[in-house]
Amino acid sequence: MPEPGVFVPDWPLPPNVRAASTTRAGGCSRAPYGSFNLGDHVGDRPQAVARNRDLLCEALALARAPAWLSQVHGTEVAGPLAPSGVVADARYADCPGVVCAVLTADCLPLLLCSDDGREVAAVHCGWRGLAGGIVDKALARFRAPAAALSAWLGPAIGPAAFEVGGEVREAFLSLDPGARACFIAGRDDRWLADLAGLTRRALAAGGVRRVYGGDACTVTEAERYFSYRRDGITGRMASLVWCTE
């Protein structure tokens, strides 16, 4: 079996903080989940998902498994003591060893870290969660001021591929008129939306100025990433951040 597809985000972090994100390569899932699927809710064989999650822990030398979430495109932010499987779309931790993780296959994974290395969070940013204020809710969990945070935007559907209806555009414009810069008119009454751009705007509005990543497209990079929009039935990738001792 090839090595699991894990890479380290290009993101300056304090010495005690670790972050990682995964690709679709290197696991044991079969088509259409081939092959490093980490989602246990997409129809893949449970034993394949369990093995892939074990491979992830081995590759990252994790002392304990990530605190997985049951993601529902909402705005709940779970704390470090919330059990694995809690219904939420973000997790915040301010203690060593709790691995914050989100699963994605077009939605944008957002990782946050405080400059002192004491606080981290992983956020699942689909358009519903963004419009609902999940970035603000995640930032509100930090004791550190927003100016003392940095962010990384992981692989997500790119602005040339994310076609949405007018109601999605209006949902954002009603909150932030400047968000019109993140939408380009498409065919008929559809719009092309910049999910990373919308996330950057939410971070900027919250006071976060140092933002990295956001340039990888899950739809067009088919050999590297899962994409629900492209394939329908597919696997999920993970983006993770945690504090060490």
CATH of residue 47's domain is 3.60.140.10
Residue 185 lies in a domain: no
Tokens representing residue 237 in the block: 């990738």
The mean per-residue pLDDT over the stretch 16-29 comes to 96
In a domain, residue 171? The reply is no
In a domain, 191, yes or no: no
Name the pLDDT band for 1 (thresholds 50, 70, 90): low
Q: What is the predicted pLDDT for the residue at 3?
A: 74
Does residue 203 lie within any of the structural domains? yes
Residue 214 falls in which region: left (phi positive, over 0), alpha (psi -120 to 50) or beta: left
Residue 142: CB atoms within 10 A of its CB come to 21
Helix/strand/coil for 173: helix
Would residue 28 be called left, alpha or beta, if left means φ above 0 and alpha means ψ between -120 and 50 degrees?
alpha
Instruction: Report the DSSP pairing between strands 183-185 and 108-114.
Output: unpaired
Q: Print the domain residue range for 152.
A: 6-160+196-243
Q: Is residue 177 part of a domain?
A: no
Please report whether residue 165 resides in a domain.
no
Amino acid residing at 231: D
Report if residue 86 sits inside a domain.
Answer: yes
Burial 33-53 (b: 16+ CB within 10 A, else e): bbbbbbbbebebeeebbeebb
Name the domain count of the chain.
1
Q: What's the whole-model pTM score?
A: 0.96
Taking only the tens place, the pLDDT of each residue in 196-221 is 999 999 999 999 999 999 999 999 99
